[in-house]
Structure 1
Amino acid sequence: MGTEHRHQSHPRIVARLKRAEGHLNSVVAMIEAGRPCLEIAQQLQAVESAIRNAKQALIHDHVDHCLGARDSESELEELKTITRYL
């Protein structure tokens, strides 16, 4: 975990997460302002979807770019480990 690990997709994933962060901050403001629960729930769903999409993009990128560089036994073990997060 101590080594730097970057892919071309990481800036796009960071951008997705920053947008999700902005949406989440908006949800907090909506709650504090007493907005209707239906509106809040819809926005929370959007935040959840954005985070899920970012996670899937990260994992798919990892599978595409990292797992092919190892021997098959360690590849399979890493694939099993990372799929827990899907």
Structure 2
Amino acid sequence: MEQDQKQQILNRLKIIEGHIRGVQRMVEEDAYCIDVLNQTRAIQQALAKLDVLILSRHLHHCVTTAIRSEDVAERERVLTELLQVFENIHR
């Protein structure tokens, strides 16, 4: 993984960590439930953005390399892997 991509992912994880700690504080302080829900939604959105960064990296490098490969089994493995990820998203 290239250093700038890795740094983007790490930065996103730090943002998510901060959101989670904030929600933890809110619960400890008996914050209004809707405010807590708004923050957990922000965490979900941040995780979705993280998924996009990781998936983009995977598609541009790992999948592209596998598809260009002469190894049919490797191509099939990568495609099956991607389909499984998308199937799990929609469960």
Do both proteins adopt the same fold according to a TM-score greater than 0.5, normalized to the shorter chain? yes
The alpha-carbon deviation at position 61 of structure 1 amounts to 1.5
**TM-score normalised to the size of structure 2?**
0.74
**TM-score normalised to the size of structure 1?**
0.78
Larger RCO (alpha carbons 8 Å, 6+ apart): 1
- Give the percent of matched residue pairs that are identical in Structure 1 and Structure 2: 27
SS at match of 1:34: coil
Provide the C-alpha distance between the structure 2 equivalents of 1:82 and 1:29, rounded to a whole number of angstroms: 33
CA 1:30/1:50 → structure 2, altered by over 3 Å: closer, same or farther? same
Structure showing greater radius of gyration is: 2
Is there any run of 5+ residues in structure 1 with no aligned partner, and where? 1-5
Provide the C-alpha distance between the structure 2 equivalents of 1:84 and 1:11, rounded to a whole number of angstroms: 29
Larger fraction in helix: 2
Aligned residues: 81
Name the counterpart of 2:51.
Answer: 55
The alpha-carbon deviation at position 82 of structure 1 amounts to 4.1
Name the counterpart of 2:80.
Answer: 77
Match of 1:16 among 12, 15, 23: 12
Work out whether residues 24 and 47 of structure 1, in 8 Å CA contact, stay in contact via their aligned partners in 2. Answer: yes
Backbone CA RMSD of aligned residues: 1.8
* Alignment deviations for residues 12-59 of structure 1 (CA, whole Å, 9 cap, x no partner): 011011111111101000010011001111011001110111012101
Provide the C-alpha distance between the structure 2 equivalents of 1:34 and 1:27, rounded to a whole number of angstroms: 10
